[in-house]
Homo-oligomer: A and B are copies of this chain.
Amino acid sequence: MTRTFAFQDYYPDSLAHCYGCGRLNAHGHQIKSYWDGEESVCHFIPEPYHIAVPGYVYGGLLASLIDCHGTGTASAAAYRAEGRGMDTEPPLRFLTASLHMDYLKPTPLGIELEIRARVKEVKGRRVIVEEWLLANGSVTVRGEVVAVQVPEQMLSDLLEGKS
Binding site for B on A (CB under 8 A): 14-15, 17-20, 22, 25-28, 47, 49-56, 58-61, 63-65, 67-68, 95-103, 106, 158, 161, 163
Contact between B63 and A51 (Cβ–Cβ < 8 Å)?
A: no
CB neighbours of A15 from chain B (8 A): 53
Question: What distance in Å separates the Cβ of A132 from its nearest Cβ neighbour in chain B?
Answer: 14
- Assembly CA distance A64 to B64 (angstroms): 8
CB neighbours of A47 from chain B (8 A): 27
Contact between B103 and A18 (Cβ–Cβ < 8 Å)?
A: no
A-B contacts, 23 listed (Cβ < 8 Å): A14-B54, A15-B53, A17-B53, A17-B54, A19-B50, A19-B51, A19-B52, A20-B58, A20-B59, A26-B49, A53-B163, A58-B64, A60-B65, A60-B68, A63-B64, A63-B99, A64-B64, A95-B103, A96-B101, A97-B103, A98-B100, A99-B100, A100-B101
